[in-house]
Amino acid sequence: MTFAQLGLTEALLNAVAEQGYANPTPVQEQAIPLILAGRDLLAGAQTGTGKTASFTLPLLQRLAANYDPHQKPCLVRALILAPTRELAAQVYDSVVAYGKFLPLHVEAVVGGASIGMQTRQLKRGCDIVVATPGRLIDHIQQRNIRLSNVEILVLDEADRMLDMGFMPDVKQIMALLPKQRQCLLFSATVPNAIKTLAASVLNNPAEVAVAKANATADNISELVYGIPREYKRELLSYLVGSNNWRQVLVFVRTKHGADRLEKQLIEDGIRTAALHGDKTQGARNKALEYFKEGKVQVLVATDVAARGLDIDDLPHVVNFDLPQVPEDYIHRIGRTGRAGSSGAAISLVCPEEAWQLVEIEKLLKRQIPRIADTGYEPVSLKVMDAPKKNAPNKVTGKKDYRHSKKTTAKPATRPGKPTAGKPRKKSK
């Protein structure tokens, strides 16, 4: 199937061609005709499936069909809500790119940017607003924007907005919208809470699902390294350096942990940047830009900061810390293996995180393969199969010493100054 067969106008087809796309993805094939027909939609689509274009293209076409050049200032016709600044920026870029040949104006309203500049832009008038909930409420309270004319509402990554506690803000915003509107809800996962939300905001919705619930992409290889917490950084440096990885997204749990790991990897000779909520928007944009351009090898990020990152052909994702919420594992590793490309997701798991691995594997309904890397003996994890002492490892075929009381990670280098990709010897 081609984009032309989906009923898109010539202006949109030209914009799609300029972006280098020839054929729609499965979610685009299913969603675009339904949205063009005016249906409300509940779409379960993981990141990397082309979901942004699946709502952006038909939204632009519907608005352009009834374009009014004399629109009153501050009256918005389409509102797209996203949970993070990075995701909102990605969606904004898509709307601009696909709407290049249309007389529609779009503005981004996100935290971390000048509210004064946003106010001036909103008061000039716009057709589409891409926003994070908190900053949008700021503008609503200052009467910089009115939502009484919204025709289409999009809730992008609704599961993440739910997890981040944005639902009260979303409900406050929705109370200001007209009752007669088209509503599109996109979510990487569709737990019961999302189904409840959909029932309250969607009117006789069509449903689209392009992947099994709580499933990872088939083109992502997954591995677990059992490793004591104090050796995680050494193993990460070893993997990056010995394999000459050029682009690695590393997830950590806390902002402080991101800064600490960034400093340690730089000391190991690995070009690294950190991305988290305490960074200014300018610093976050710069870190992401350097990562995409290959000026840094490793981007260390927290879940909130990394949500919605769109990086073409990202080969490696590393869970330095396992996520507290099992569903976040799916979101994290979905940064790689996008648009059909292959990718690798590696989790460094210490004994204290064993219960988190249990919960993740319960969600996935399968076990993630374990591996023992040369120079490192994996530590005992209760969630692993319990082979007899010194039994052959299922992955490597070597004897397994995981259950020895003195099992530790063994750095694979001689003592001396650490180099990129070679773990430092710990001082006693």
Could you please report the per-residue DSSP string of 193-205?
Answer: HHHHHHHHH-SS-
pLDDT band for position 47 (50/70/90)? low
Task: Identify the CATH number of the domain in which residue 20 sits.
Answer: 3.40.50.300
Pair (224, 285) in one structural domain: yes
Query: Is residue 416 pLDDT above 70, yes or no?
Result: no
Beta strands in 182-243 (DSSP E): 182-187, 206-209, 220-226
Average pLDDT score over residue span 380-395: 40
Pair (182, 312) in one structural domain: no
Residue 399's pLDDT is 38
The two structure tokens encoding residue 190: 């569709």
Residue 194's pLDDT is 86
What is the rounded average pLDDT for all residues in the chain?
82
Query: Is residue 52 pLDDT above 50, yes or no?
Result: yes
Residue 393's pLDDT is 37
CA separation for the pair 400, 402 (Å, rounded): 6
Q: Is 113 exposed, middle or buried (0-12, 13-18, 19+ CB in 10 A)?
A: middle
Pair (265, 364) in one structural domain: yes
Pair (270, 324) in one structural domain: yes
Pair (187, 110) in one structural domain: yes
Average pLDDT score over residue span 141-168: 90
Report the run of H or E that residue 130 belongs to, with start and end.
strand 128-131
Pair (137, 168) in one structural domain: yes
Which of the listed residues 183, 209, 235 is the one where a domain comes to its end? Answer: 209
Pair (257, 344) in one structural domain: yes
Pair (225, 203) in one structural domain: no
Cα end-to-end span (Å), the chain: 64
Residue 307's pLDDT is 63
The better pLDDT of the pair 162, 269 is held by 269
Read off the pLDDT of residues 166-194 as tens digits, 9 standing for 90 and up. 889 999 999 999 999 999 999 877 778 88
Greatest distance between any 2 Cα atoms in the chain: 78
Read off the pLDDT of residues 193-240 as tens digits, 9 standing for 90 and up. 888 889 989 999 999 987 555 666 677 899 999 889 999 999 999 999
Query: Does residue 401 sit within a domain?
Result: no
Pair (233, 350) in one structural domain: yes
Total structural domains within the chain: 2
Residue 68's pLDDT is 76
Pair (174, 123) in one structural domain: yes
CA separation for the pair 44, 212 (Å, rounded): 9
Could you tell me the residue range of the domain that residue 114 belongs to?
Answer: 4-209
Read off the pLDDT of residues 304-351 as tens digits, 9 standing for 90 and up. 766 666 677 789 999 999 998 888 888 888 888 766 678 899 999 998
Residue 214's pLDDT is 60
Read off the pLDDT of residues 72-131 as tens digits, 9 standing for 90 and up. 655 799 999 999 888 898 899 999 999 999 999 999 999 878 899 999 989 888 999 999
Query: Does residue 166 sit within a domain?
Result: yes
Residue 49's pLDDT is 75
Name the residue among 19, 146, 22, 10 with its Cα closest to residue 74. 146
Name the residue among 192, 181, 127 with its Cα closest to residue 158. 192
Residue 103's pLDDT is 92
Query: Is residue 383 pLDDT above 70, yes or no?
Result: no
Residue 276's pLDDT is 87
Residue 407's pLDDT is 34
CA separation for the pair 31, 185 (Å, rounded): 11
Query: Does residue 423 sit within a domain?
Result: no
Read off the pLDDT of residues 250-307 as tens digits, 9 standing for 90 and up. 999 999 999 999 999 999 999 999 988 788 878 888 888 899 888 999 999 998 766 6
Pair (291, 343) in one structural domain: yes
Query: Is residue 50 pLDDT above 60, yes or no?
Result: yes
Residue 123's pLDDT is 87
Pair (132, 15) in one structural domain: yes
